[in-house]
Chains A and B, each alone.
Chain A
Amino acid sequence: DIVMTQSPDSLTVSLGERATISCKSSQSVLYSSNNKNYLAWYQQKPGQPPKLLMYWASTRESGVPDRFSGSGSETDFTLTISSLQAEDVAVYYCQQYYTTPPTFGQGTKVEV
């Protein structure tokens, strides 16, 4: 199975400041035939299910604010919140869907 490792485990950021989360996969999730990275990001708020934020590593899901951005390729990925808002307090997970079983990172808790 592909192992997804996120860092840091938790992050405290002031309102309006930038938050950056790293995700590393144990093998490349870039499919060479279509040049797509099979990497998604989810946001989970307390008592709620995960919500898809980003797919193909850098494509925002419909309705996701543009302060959220994703970058990276192959084995190294980043989720950036450019200006943290109070409603962004949550746990963020990366997930690879390159191969079965799809696997998730352990999560990064973002606090204010």
Chain B
Amino acid sequence: GQQVMQIPQYQHVQEGEDFTTYCNSSTTLSNIQWYKQRPGGHPVFLIQLVKSGEVKKQKRLTFQFGEAKKNSSLHITATQTTDVGTYFCGNTGKLIFGQGTTLQVKP
């Protein structure tokens, strides 16, 4: 069946380092959404990308949708302890999510 894979599954970084998580789909997606889940919390919507090659920024977060609309990435510049959590990509049209990347930030 259709799958969305995320890598890495876990990432530990020192505060101030950059972080990137990658999302790969086996098929073309109409859009990609990113969610953040803080420890003990619930997923919260961050952003949606729709266009091929689209790049969107939210402060230190940069989201990119691949040209073929089969992959996406989330890059965090100069991580802070508030960035700790699990980041999920997914396509809510097909109701599929990646397994998430859990980010730990050491102060």
User: Is A bound to B?
Assistant: no
